Amino acid sequence: MQDLQLQHLQQKIEKLLQVHEQLRAQNQAMRAAEADWQAERAKLMQQNEIARRKVNEMINRLQTLERNSG
């Protein structure tokens, strides 16, 4: 009877180790994906800032042209 219980316990431990390894791999993949998303976000924020500056420059030029032509 004890041998059967030990086998069941060993099977449960092995299953827990497998689940642990799967979760560790998933966690690592998620951390890598998060790092990629953070880098993409930073890039998009930088592009957005550049676009905002260009739009403001165009608005200023148009206002200057309007003042000079009127």
Q: What is the pLDDT of residues 2-57, one digit of tens each?
A: 899 999 999 999 999 999 999 999 999 999 999 999 999 999 999 999 999 999 99
Mean pLDDT of 56-62: 97
| pLDDT (0 to 100) of residue 67 | 92
Answer with the residue of higher pLDDT: 68 or 70.
68
Quote the longest CA-to-CA distance of the chain: 101
| pLDDT (0 to 100) of residue 25 | 98
Whole-model pTM over 0.85: no
For the record, the structure tokens of 54 come out as 């260009």
Residue 44: Cβ within 10 Å count: 10
Q: How is residue 42 annotated by DSSP?
A: H
| pLDDT (0 to 100) of residue 1 | 75
Distance (Å, whole) CA 10 – CA 17: 10
Q: How far is CA 50 from the centre of its chain?
A: 22
